[in-house]
Amino acid sequence: MIRKKTVRDIDLTGKTVIMRVDFNVPLDKEGNITDDTRIRAALPTIKYVLEKNTKLILMSHLGRPKGQVKEELRMAPVGRRLSELLGKEVIVCKDSIGEEVKKIISGMQTGDVVLLENLRFHKEEEANDPEFAKELASYADVFVNDAFGTAHRAHASTEGIAHYLPAVAGFLMEKEIDFLGRLLYQPAKPYIAIIGGAKVSTKIGVLEKLLEKVDSLLIGGGMSYTFLKAKGFEVGNSLVETEKINMAFELIKKADEKGVNLMFPVDHVVADKVDESAKTKVVETNAMPKDMIGVDIGPKTVRQYKKEIKRASTIFWNGPMGVFEIDKFAKGTFQIAKAMASAKGTTVVGGGDSVAAVNKVGVADKIDHVSTGGGASLEFLEGKELPGIKVLEDA
């Protein structure tokens, strides 16, 4: 298991703390936050740090400004929301480095919270520029990383800064390392993984690693059609990554060698087009019409997958079972979300779309762990060392 020091293992009393958070929240066209889950997720660590009579500096990115100042990606709305949630003023800087910022920080009193401007307005952030990291580090005595969603990136605020300050994990980071670490190193058996989403190509690494760990691997979503094509089935106009058919065939072979129960949809909801007004019907896997598109798993598949979920002691889910953004094609994904919520085993959901699904169905609070990092959770489960975790002090 990976053991890292956390905010509990370091004396914070009276210190200035700089904390990397993941406040990359969705905004509407008017600049209003449409979902503040990520801000709320950081509150336990923020409150804990403030209880130690500290001065707290928060930093995050927002969107993809690519090293340029984008007015619509300023941190001001985040600062407003955070100050409502904390019930105290949050001072929002107009930049993340420079004289103006230094002045604000030197004027901080104990208990003050300062939020730096969007880090990615500076190209040095993503380039992990040592001078940029050093300037961020110069503001504080201790660095806390609570942004698991960016832990797989070696940026100045996630990796670089830790070379200049004592670096520890926040509670959110600790929970991610703990839950995902258990899946990687000591999952309770039977362990099943449900992997969906559009493409095999984005999941190959994690599929290969899972085949070494799981008892059953359940496939859904657009990626299932690349596998079914590899097995020789007609898949109509469904999404297929032709250049990945051989890879899918190899994975099927590997599962067989390892005695993993690799499950594919046995029936499908098919549509004449991917849109709300589409004509749909349910067909068996061996009777896919040439002119239709697979858009969701069918009722028989849902029953089979639910049975697997019910008997498992550990269940990991990443990726939807169909085009769940369209209500008509969301049934399979929502059924899996509900089955996860009522499962007796330890349940972990990782990745943006599956997280959105459990939120939409209203069962997120019934899942043992909903990961805050899509790409980061997959890379972690592939067994890769994440730069933002590696640099934190070992427990």
Looking only at the bridges linking them, the beta strands covering 293-297 and 267-271 are antiparallel
Nearest CA-CA partner of 77 in 26, 132, 134? 26
In what order do the strands lie in the sheet containing 314-318? Answer: 261-263, 216-219, 191-195, 314-318, 346-349, 369-370
15, 182, 199, 390: the active-site residue: 199
388: which residues sit within 8 A by CB, 6+ positions away?
Answer: 20, 145, 147, 148, 150, 151, 152, 153, 154, 158, 159
**Residue for token pair 């990136």:** 153
Q: Within 13 Å, how many C-alpha atoms sit on residue 385's CB side?
A: 6
DSSP state of 280: E
Please answer whether residues 336 and 321 qualify as being in contact, where contact means their C-beta atoms are separated by less than 8 angstroms.
Answer: yes
Give dist(CA 226, CA 239) in Å, integer.
7
Q: Please state, as a whole number, how many other Cβ atoms lie within 10 Å of the Cβ of residue 364.
A: 17
- Reply yes or no on whether 3 is catalytic: no
Is 352 labeled as catalytic in the residue annotation?
yes
Out of 181, 205, 352, 383, the active site residue is: 352
CA 330-238-325 angle, 5° bins: 25
From the list 375, 383, 384, 390, the catalytic residue is 375
Cα 84 to Cα 77: distance, rounded to the nearest angstrom: 11
Q: Which of 20, 38, 74, 175 is catalytic?
A: 38
Do 269 and 294 form a contact (C-beta atoms < 8 A)?
yes
Q: Is 134 a catalytic residue?
A: no
Q: Is 199 a catalytic residue?
A: yes
* Dihedral (CA of 160, 163, 168, 174) sign: positive
DSSP at 224: H
Q: Which of 7, 36, 9 is nearest to 372 (CA)?
A: 36
Report the catalytic residues.
38, 199, 352, 375
